[in-house]
Amino acid sequence: MLKMGVIRESSSPYSSPVVVVKKKDGTNRVCIDFRKVNKITVFDPEPMPTAADLFRRLTGSKIFSKIDLSKGYWQIPVREEDIPKTAFATPDGTYECLRMPFGMVNSGATLKRGMRKMLKGMKNVVYYWDDLLVHTETFAEHLETLRELFSRLTKANLTVRPSKCILGTDNVDFIGHSLKEGQKGLLLENVTKILNAPRPETKKQVRSFLGLAGYYREFIPNFAAITAPLSDMTRKGCPNRILWGPAQEKAYQTVRDLMSRDPVLRLPDTAKEFILRTDASDEGIGAMLMQEHGGKPFPVSYASKKLSGAEKNYSTMEKECLAIVWGIKKFELYLQGVKFVLQTDHKPLTYLNSAKFVNNRIMRWVMYLQNFDMRVESIKGSDNVGADFLSRVCE
């Protein structure tokens, strides 16, 4: 770091300690403990685009390039007046950072803000931390976008890591997903970790398993209900050593089985109409967002949740209406400001836009639904297998 010009010797009155953290591969990572400095730092947050928002922007893209910045944090210089505040003590003396260090409360926000400003106006480039994804429909457009991107990187004095860059491909891995031909799937590396994970024996191990599997919950119909026997074991008051039974084994194996089937979802296409199907059962509610391709509906995302104790006491119509409201809120990013179709197998709810309901709770929900431009359609229960399964699998 000293030879690279990332740090220099310091006589600063500040002095943060250095700690050694064990990495997964057994090697050591040297980290600076900036907690005391962070306590007196004014927090300056910068929002990160959500995965759903990033994937929404990839609509119609057929060609991809992934650009990886080389040590993103170190490419941002620290202001001269702030350099002394980054000082840290080692057995060999005190040093201070000339480049932005990891661990300061505003380091991440500074990187994200810099990326946002640099990429302003480039509609065919999305970013997640220091990973850039160029996405276009045509090769000519792709070359033009790459030229503009590399020009901006050069002006910003930023360098990339060639060994981690992928240019002009029709399939690419991005933020834990595999992208190809308008579809997104699971990243094989992460699926392998889930399938090879030993059976959890403690609360911590269960949380770890659910955390990794839960990243792909939108691919798994009714993930919350399927994994309930496992998540229930992590509640306060439960023993640290998991009492593994048939219910836990079934949940564990079901998640692994569904992951191994290589499920895929269609990337959302803003030029196509969205279809939202919802359903409710005595135990849960489910929603499925779809779009038609070639005359057939394909899933864009699944969502479901278990009903609370109070919600289980709702009437059938209330549960069905709750499923609609919850489903729209879940997929509001896609449904706000566009026309879409709402499909339900509960016929009375097809009159949501015209009927007056005596039930106050339903009327409040109806008022909320007036914010959306939807056409309500009635479908047979036998046709609503997706959302119906989402709601009933927890029973």
DSSP annotation of 99 reads: B
Q: Do 297 and 250 share a structural domain?
A: no
Residues 252 and 303 occupy one common structural domain? no
Q: Are residues 329 and 220 in the same domain?
A: no
Residue 282 counted as domain residue: yes
Please indicate, yes or no, whether residues 109 and 63 belong to a single structural domain of this protein.
yes
| CA dihedral sign, ordered 8, 16, 40, 1 | positive
In which domain, by residue range, is 210 found? 186-262
Contact (Cβ atoms closer than 8 angstroms) between residue 135 and residue 31: no
Q: Are residues 124 and 109 in the same domain?
A: yes
Ranges of residues in the chain whose predicted pLDDT is under 70: 23-26, 353-355, 380-395
Same domain, 165 and 205: no
Tokens at 105, concatenated: 């409360």
**Residue 135 and residue 202 in one domain:** no
Q: List, for residues 89-117, the tens digit of each pLDDT value.
A: 998 899 999 999 999 999 999 999 999 99
Summarize pLDDT for 325-343 with one digit per residue, the tens: 999 999 998 999 999 999 9
Last residue of a domain, one of 175, 209, 242: 175
Task: Tell how many helices (H) and how many strands (E) occur in the chain.
Answer: 13, 18
Are residue 131 and residue 57 in the same domain, yes or no? yes
φ/ψ region of 323 (left if φ > 0, alpha if ψ in -120 to 50, else beta) reads alpha
**Same domain, residue pair 144 and 42:** yes
Of 222, 241, 262, which one is at a domain's C-terminal end?
A: 262
Residue type, 188: L
Say which CATH number the domain at 61 has. Answer: 3.30.70.270
Which pLDDT belongs to residue 386?
A: 47
Same domain for 206 and 277, yes or no, is no
pLDDT for 381? 57
Same domain, 95 and 158: yes
User: What is 329-373 written as a DSSP string?
Assistant: HHTHHHHTTSEEEEEES-GGGGGTTT---S-HHHHHHHHHHTTSE
Write out pLDDT tens, residues 231-270: 889 988 888 988 899 999 999 999 999 999 989 999 998 8
Q: Say if CB 374 and CB 340 are below 8 A apart.
A: yes
Per-residue tokens: 64:
């991809």
Please say whether the beta carbons of 204 and 175 come within 8 A: no
Q: Number of structural domains, the chain? A: 3
Q: Do residues 17 and 160 both lie within one domain? A: yes
Here the tokens at position 127 are 């970013």
Contact 92, 22 (CB under 8 A): no
13: left (phi over 0), alpha (psi -120 to 50) or beta: alpha
Instruction: Assess if residue 95 is contained within a domain.
Output: yes
pLDDT score at 50: 86
Please tell me the predicted confidence (pLDDT) of residue 395. 46
In a domain, 245, yes or no: yes
